[in-house]
Structure 1
Amino acid sequence: MSNGQCLDSGTQCHTPTFPAEAGGGGQASGYVIHPRVQAVMVAARFHGVELDPSEAISRAAKGTPSAASLSEWAESAGMWARAVRLRWRQLLHIAEDAGPVVLLLTDGSATLMVGANADRNVVFVRDPRALASELTLAVDELRLERIWSGEAVLVRARRGRMETDAPFTLGWLSGLVLHEKRSLRDIGLASLTLSFLTIFPPLLVMTVVDKVLTHHSYSTLLLLATILAITTIYEAVLGYARRLIVMVVGARLDAKLNLHVFNRLLRLPLDYFERHPAGETMHKVAQVYKVREFLTGKLLATFLDMMTLAVLLPFLFYLNSSLAFIVLACSILIVVIVLIYLRPLQRAFSKVVVAEAEKAAALGETIFGVKTVKSLALEPQRRMLWDMRVAEAGRWRLAFGKLANWPQTIVNPIERFMSIGVVLIGAYIALADKSGYAVGALFAFMMLSMRVAQPLSGLARLIENYEEVGAAISEAGSVLNRPLEYDAVSRGLRPQLSGAIAFDDVTFTYGTTKIPALDRVTFAIPAGTMLGIVGRSGSGKSTLTRLLQGINRDHSGFVKIDGNDVREINLRHLRQSFGVVLQENFLFRGSICENIIAGRPGLTLSDTVRAARLAGAEEFIERMPNGYETIIEEGSPNLSGGQRQRLAIARALITDPRILILDEAMSALDPESEAVLHANLLRIAHGRTMIIVSHRLSSLIDCDQILVLESGKGVDIAPHRVLLERCSIYRQLWSQQNRHLANQGLHHAKAS
């Protein structure tokens, strides 16, 4: 057992020291691997999956890793994992071939259950830090319960496609609803009971008319009143319970949909977001909740009404078959009318969908770019665009409304006949009846006929609403059903990267153009190199860094890090090995400290201060009113461009990346900030590979190598002095940027 804790006082426990190489290393980024983390790693290794302990460190934050965080960690690596609470009897019945079960002990450590013997009533456990060849320990229920509260983590390899990876369709959503089987069963039973209860009031009215009024029976009236009061109270309680269950089911579905949609969005490739406006994406994703509302609202209500219909329709035929046939025929006629208008309504609504998406895109673009709108006084132009989008959406919505108004206009007289005409026909039948008992039946039929007509009319309108829901599913699916980064994120190699980079005949072309962004680029640098990349705008500088990060993977040739093709490396592991600072960096709403440690929430303030000092951000942070706890508002209006850039550099350094990419990161810095960063540049580059993309050649003088790109081709790679001598393109760029120095020297010469 871990931490030297013995399950059997009469048995000497073996607690070997954990070697650095066993289980993927005894340390991760300076952290000793926690016993719980180690236990999950061993369990995952049984299924052929190697987990990265640094990911567990970042998820666990401070303190002991919880069952939930361990489960999420394994799930993020592409495994199936569940945090559960087990009983002794369940432990005994877990199959041996299911693999080790991680038992989380009350002292914060963990052990592995590797087998069980139901006949002897024992389970076999092993210290996760011990070697696999070492003996296991047989433990009975009493000894295990002393140190185990029932918390466990189940881990296995993923089998087939996850349910959440299935295409977003109405069938998938229906399956999500049907998972609430117990709740749906309770709702169905309650609805069936309520349907039978709806028969009692008409029966009581019929009895009152036919028996009480005819025979002046006060005792019968009292009995009927008592029965009515009891059924009314019971119906109210049952109706409350049914509505409560429906609300619970709706809340569960909302939670599942929110998690599913957000996870799918995070796993979409970056180029999707680059090619689609944020407002359009948000509008399309919001259609998911319209579909959910349909499933748990109109569809469920119509289904429950159909259950009522199944109960009441036979009773209507029992009361008066002629009137029942009239009601049924009118309802079928309503359905036929709606079906006739279905296809034209579908075509009209598709125009509404397109217009609304364009309107949402214009609104989102204006909100996200409001700084530019204000600074350039673009309000009139944006208002004109918005007016056009609103007018277009209003025009198509009005056209759809006019078309949808026709079936409603035709159906209304039929519905009115079902409510009033049937009464008149029933009155005629009652007048012709000489027995006198048809009057009570007529009253009962009148009370129940609309309860039958309502679900049939609702079913017809449900078909009409389905077109709108179908369009909503299509819109949401156009985002959520796109190819995900799942395979690349959860699978692949997880090598320890040191930073040697090689491009071997790499060619890459963006899908929107036929001209290669990179054209047969070949170069190589050893680990620890400071590489500068220069070239004119559009020469492929940023594209090169995107290929390194695995953002675009459909290139020809080979991009290798330490000899490993980036397409074969686990994508999350690859990106965690990088620190990236862009020209425009986004800071999240929250404190400065939270922004800096965003990639590693388990780190402390001292780690934050160290990264800020290295990035030259410590000085201005300490001048802030609340220091590292100063809140950054959305859009970071309380920070200058240079301050935002230095915070972004500190955020990139906090993870101690093996490879650091500065993509035009110095272009937004003021001279003071740039001087501070330059002074720290060699310290920042120590022990890692650094790639600096910059238009300012003066910032690349200290680089070990400088790669010159021109129209996507690698023209030359060498140190600064060598390039000045032999590379005409580099020499021309240098002359353009340092012309003022040459002119200054000329003036000095004339003055002398």
Structure 2
Amino acid sequence: MAAAHFHGLELDVQDFIGEPGESSPSPATLSRWLNEQGAVAKGMRIKWRYLVKMGNSPPIVLMFRDGSAALMVNADAGRGIVWLRDPMADEAVPPVPVDEMRLGQVWTGDVLLIKRRKDQTEADAPINAAWLAKMVLREKRSLRDIAIASMTLSILQIFPPLIVMQVIDRVVNNRSMATLVSITAIVLVLSFYEVLLSYGRRELTLVLTTRIDTRISLHIFSRLLSLPLEFFERQQAGNVIGRVMAIYKVRDFMTGRLMSTFLDLFTLVVILPFLFFLSSTLAWMTVAASGLIGLLVVIFMGPVGRQFGKLIDADMKRSGVMYETIAGIRTIKTLALENSRKQEWDECTAAVVQAKLDVGRMSNWPATLSMPLELFINRGIILVGAYLVLAGSSSVGAGALVAFMMLGSRVATPLTGLAKLLDDLNEVTTSLGEAGTVLNQPTETKALTTGMRPKIKGALSFIDVNFSYPGASSKALDDVTFEVPAGTMLGLVGRSGSGKSTITRLLQGVSRSYTGYLKLDGVDLREINLNHLRRSFGVVPQDNFLFRGTIRDNITAGRPGLTIDDVVRAARLAGAEEFIERMPAGYETFIEEGSTNISGGQRQRLAIARAVICDPKLMILDEATSALDPESEALVNANLERIGKGRTMVIVSHRLSSLVNCDQILVMERGAVADIGPHEVLLERCAIYRTLWMQQNRHTANRGGANVDDAPLIAEGD
């Protein structure tokens, strides 16, 4: 934290999540986390003689054997001393000079270098061909080693044809056994080195492609998580998944066909000049035939690309139907919608099949037209060469002709492969564009990694806040102004569409495109680090999601390091302890996907426990008790005052009876504040609140003989 603070980066240690099984964070783990937080960090191991020369460097983190660390703030190579500072101590405490012997007793040799990222972060860089090329070029050392191995192999591939030429021209014609023995020894040695180099190149290529694949996968998932919630709310989930998965077609292309063609080009660079040395006439024929194949591919690139785009669209639509069917399988089974979903799937499948046929037929034309040229390269060249030898118009001998054929086939492969590579660019370009429509959306990366990290107390202030959803004709919030001190239990009520849930969305930072001022403890919400803000809140929405895993894992999802005592305390506050203890495995009970083995009320109480376990200073409950049965709701409501002790509570509920004990109740009407006050005050002066209350308590009023006007039913909720 101290080293990052030197560069103007404010980090929160609570945001750090270590690797499983690590007793103390390693430099690699810390580097990964710092890079995610907007810094540039690199862990490395260096020796003392290099460390002591880094006198003018920014603070360097030294890792100690006991899991602790220190900051090296200065060094003097002449005196053999470095100055260390305790990162947890006050900055006024002077650093301590340490020599090599004393440092060697505690230092592991690992250091962590940190600096502020000044350019566009890789996390926000657009996903395009340049980005992918940059990903590959980061592996410069591996690329260099592969290039050296490929060049060496290409040179070695020249010798077998030369040896064959010598065997035909000298050994066979002159019947020389001594020459044959010498050539055999040379062949064995060259073959050994060729096998060894081929194995090494394959190993290097495997490591390179695996590293690139891993980096792309990690980056894509991080980019997906950094997209704002508003984007996912506007898009079909299956469509998003299908478009993101298209990036893996690009990955397969880069680590497959592109890599193999790139390696074959080394063969082309080395062998092609030698072919011209053997016979310039035959060499030009080989190059010309390969060039015509490339021309055919270029001509058909546009038509094939358009057909492939239609295939991608049809496939995305079918993927959306598949995802929607699986996600809504309970509704489909309940309402017997299998036939209608099957019909829709059949129609989408027919569209995909037709698109595949169109792409295949269009791609078949360049393949068919180029086939005679490929046959000419593989078979026709030797016939032309034989004619030139028989006609006596060429200096090519029998041995040279055979050598040319052996090398010519090696040259034709990368030339035709390079031409066909252009054909693959259609699919790659289309797939990259599809993935870019999702992954190149504006992210929350800057908001998640920058901004203030104040200590949250919970005082809220809305000042002339206006907000409209994209495409809406009216405001969701219209000059909303109210203020509540820290520790207030605030209820939000109003008719459907009055803006209650919109207020909670703005508080969570889901939407930041509002006007006016929304302040938390006097600080504008947009100035606060978004990650810090959300970790400081406890949120319980109406449609809670539980992950596959144990009850304990779900309750500690936001804080994996908490103990079972913390879990039990949170479950008790949420009223979940009684049903958890009745389960066979207790807190280790496994929750299936979709939470099918627990009830809706139990799921809701587990969500409340998950929200309170991190002891947030501000809690938002958006219809959090709507799925509870009366007994469970009464239990949770009885605990609300205990849950809300020492923290601000924002409770959205259409059941006004659960808000009676709130310190303040905010009444919303068409996006504006109708009134705010305690329950008793609102019953007297707010007609909207009084109407809602009377509708929900009509049976109580009638039982008491009160005269209640027949008011039209008003839809509630949000």
TM bucket, shorter chain: over 0.9
Alignment of 1:109-128 (within 5 A): 109-128=68-87
Shift in alpha-carbon separation, 1:82–1:743, aligned structure 2, 3 A: same
Shift in alpha-carbon separation, 1:316–1:645, aligned structure 2, 3 A: same
User: What does residue 91 of structure 1 align with?
Assistant: 51
How far residue 145 of structure 1 moved from its aligned partner, in angstroms, is 0.7
How far residue 58 of structure 1 moved from its aligned partner, in angstroms, is 8.5
SS in 1 for 2:90: coil
Out of 1, 7, 21, the position equivalent to 1:47 is: 7
Q: What is the rounded CA distance, in whole Å, between the counterparts of 1:399 and 1:662 in structure 2?
A: 53
User: What does residue 31 of structure 1 align with?
Assistant: none
Letter in 2 for 1:737: Q
Check if 1:78 corresponds to 2:8.
no
How far residue 621 of structure 1 moved from its aligned partner, in angstroms, is 1.0
User: What does residue 506 of structure 1 align with?
Assistant: 465
Out of 690, 695, 718, the position equivalent to 1:731 is: 690
Shift in alpha-carbon separation, 1:327–1:266, aligned structure 2, 3 A: same
Is residue 278–residue 400 contact of structure 2 (8 Å, CA) maintained in 1? yes
How far residue 654 of structure 1 moved from its aligned partner, in angstroms, is 0.7
Q: What is the rounded CA distance, in whole Å, between the counterparts of 2:381 and 2:17 in structure 1?
A: 73
SS in 2 for 1:237: helix
User: What does residue 608 of structure 2 align with?
Assistant: 649
Q: What is the rounded CA distance, in whole Å, between the counterparts of 2:625 and 2:418 in structure 1?
A: 63
Alignment of 1:304-383 (within 5 A): 304-383=263-342
Shift in alpha-carbon separation, 1:62–1:641, aligned structure 2, 3 A: farther
Shift in alpha-carbon separation, 1:68–1:646, aligned structure 2, 3 A: farther
User: What does residue 358 of structure 2 align with?
Assistant: 399
Is residue 210–residue 437 contact of structure 1 (8 Å, CA) maintained in 2? no
User: What does residue 10 of structure 1 align with?
Assistant: none
How far residue 102 of structure 1 moved from its aligned partner, in angstroms, is 2.4
Q: What is the rounded CA distance, in whole Å, between the counterparts of 2:22 and 2:164 in structure 1?
A: 70
Is residue 508–residue 555 contact of structure 1 (8 Å, CA) maintained in 2? yes
User: What does residue 37 of structure 1 align with?
Assistant: none
* TM-score scaled by length of structure 2: 0.94
Check if 1:248 corresponds to 2:207.
yes
Q: What is the rounded CA distance, in whole Å, between the counterparts of 1:115 and 1:182 in structure 2?
A: 32
Out of 632, 639, 648, the position equivalent to 2:598 is: 639
Is residue 366–residue 373 contact of structure 1 (8 Å, CA) maintained in 2? yes
How far residue 575 of structure 1 moved from its aligned partner, in angstroms, is 1.0
How far residue 222 of structure 1 moved from its aligned partner, in angstroms, is 2.5
Is residue 58–residue 602 contact of structure 1 (8 Å, CA) maintained in 2? no
Shift in alpha-carbon separation, 1:645–1:49, aligned structure 2, 3 A: same
Out of 132, 138, 143, the position equivalent to 1:179 is: 138
User: What does residue 666 of structure 1 align with?
Assistant: 625
How far residue 615 of structure 1 moved from its aligned partner, in angstroms, is 0.5
Out of 205, 228, 252, the position equivalent to 2:187 is: 228
Is residue 536–residue 617 contact of structure 2 (8 Å, CA) maintained in 1? yes
Letter in 2 for 1:219: A
Q: What is the rounded CA distance, in whole Å, between the counterparts of 2:698 and 2:548 in structure 1?
A: 43
Out of 550, 556, 564, the position equivalent to 2:515 is: 556
Alignment of 1:56-205 (within 5 A): 56=16, 64-96=24-56, 98-205=57-164
Shift in alpha-carbon separation, 1:435–1:340, aligned structure 2, 3 A: closer
How far residue 695 of structure 1 moved from its aligned partner, in angstroms, is 1.0
Q: What is the rounded CA distance, in whole Å, between the counterparts of 1:66 and 1:321 in structure 2?
A: 60
SS in 1 for 2:351: helix
User: What does residue 251 of structure 2 align with?
Assistant: 292
Is residue 10–residue 450 contact of structure 2 (8 Å, CA) maintained in 1? no
Deviation per residue, 1:685-726 (Å, 9 max, x gap): 110110111111111111111111122121111222222222
How far residue 60 of structure 1 moved from its aligned partner, in angstroms, is 9.6
Shift in alpha-carbon separation, 1:694–1:130, aligned structure 2, 3 A: closer
Check if 1:605 corresponds to 2:595.
no
How far residue 618 of structure 1 moved from its aligned partner, in angstroms, is 0.8
Check if 1:701 corresponds to 2:660.
yes
How far residue 545 of structure 1 moved from its aligned partner, in angstroms, is 0.2
Letter in 2 for 1:577: S
Is residue 531–residue 704 contact of structure 1 (8 Å, CA) maintained in 2? yes
Deviation per residue, 1:587-627 (Å, 9 max, x gap): 11211111111111121111111111000111111111111
Is residue 458–residue 521 contact of structure 2 (8 Å, CA) maintained in 1? yes
Alignment of 1:492-503 (within 5 A): 492-503=451-462
Shift in alpha-carbon separation, 1:435–1:469, aligned structure 2, 3 A: closer
SS in 2 for 1:668: coil
How far residue 197 of structure 1 moved from its aligned partner, in angstroms, is 2.1
Shift in alpha-carbon separation, 1:406–1:108, aligned structure 2, 3 A: closer
Q: What is the rounded CA distance, in whole Å, between the counterparts of 1:227 and 1:505 in structure 2?
A: 88
* TM-score scaled by length of structure 1: 0.90
Q: What is the rounded CA distance, in whole Å, between the counterparts of 1:362 and 1:189 in structure 2?
A: 49
Q: What is the rounded CA distance, in whole Å, between the counterparts of 2:420 and 2:187 in structure 1?
A: 33
User: What does residue 711 of structure 2 align with?
Assistant: none
How far residue 402 of structure 1 moved from its aligned partner, in angstroms, is 0.9
Letter in 2 for 1:503: F
Total equivalences in the alignment = 707
User: What does residue 216 of structure 1 align with?
Assistant: 175
SS in 1 for 2:455: coil
Shift in alpha-carbon separation, 1:48–1:59, aligned structure 2, 3 A: farther
User: What does residue 15 of structure 1 align with?
Assistant: none
Out of 487, 503, 514, the position equivalent to 1:528 is: 487
Is residue 18–residue 25 contact of structure 2 (8 Å, CA) maintained in 1? no
Deviation per residue, 1:378-434 (Å, 9 max, x gap): 222221221121111221221111111111111111111222222222222222239
SS in 1 for 2:112: strand
- More deviation in 686-695 or 67-76? 67-76
Deviation per residue, 1:75-132 (Å, 9 max, x gap): 4443333333332123212243x33222232233332211000110110122334433
Letter in 2 for 1:320: S
Shift in alpha-carbon separation, 1:116–1:78, aligned structure 2, 3 A: same
Deviation per residue, 1:479-535 (Å, 9 max, x gap): 221111122111112111211111111111111322211111111111111111111
Q: What is the rounded CA distance, in whole Å, between the counterparts of 2:31 and 2:561 in structure 1?
A: 17
How far residue 71 of structure 1 moved from its aligned partner, in angstroms, is 4.2
Letter in 1 for 2:7: H
- More deviation in 304-313 or 240-249? 304-313
Deviation per residue, 1:556-613 (Å, 9 max, x gap): 1111111111111111111111100011111112111111111111211111111110
- More deviation in 109-118 or 434-443? 434-443
Q: What is the rounded CA distance, in whole Å, between the counterparts of 1:94 and 1:303 in structure 2?
A: 40
| Cα RMSD for the two superposed structures | 2.2
- More deviation in 264-273 or 282-291? 282-291
- More deviation in 614-623 or 532-541? 532-541
User: What does residue 3 of structure 1 align with?
Assistant: none
Deviation per residue, 1:146-172 (Å, 9 max, x gap): 122223333332222223432111111
SS in 2 for 1:165: coil
Q: What is the rounded CA distance, in whole Å, between the counterparts of 1:284 and 1:67 in structure 2?
A: 35
Letter in 2 for 1:342: M
Is residue 517–residue 539 contact of structure 1 (8 Å, CA) maintained in 2? yes
Letter in 2 for 1:148: W
Q: What is the rounded CA distance, in whole Å, between the counterparts of 1:61 and 1:603 in structure 2?
A: 15
Identity over the aligned pairs, expressed in percent?
Answer: 54
Out of 210, 216, 219, the position equivalent to 1:257 is: 216
Letter in 1 for 2:47: R
SS in 2 for 1:341: helix
How far residue 309 of structure 1 moved from its aligned partner, in angstroms, is 1.4
User: What does residue 377 of structure 2 align with?
Assistant: 418
Out of 567, 572, 575, the position equivalent to 2:531 is: 572
User: What does residue 34 of structure 1 align with?
Assistant: none
Q: What is the rounded CA distance, in whole Å, between the counterparts of 1:111 and 1:440 in structure 2?
A: 71
Out of 265, 270, 273, the position equivalent to 2:232 is: 273
Is residue 84–residue 98 contact of structure 2 (8 Å, CA) maintained in 1? yes
5+ long unaligned stretches in structure 1: 1-40
Is residue 388–residue 394 contact of structure 2 (8 Å, CA) maintained in 1? no
Is residue 616–residue 646 contact of structure 1 (8 Å, CA) maintained in 2? yes
Q: What is the rounded CA distance, in whole Å, between the counterparts of 2:70 and 2:565 in structure 1?
A: 33
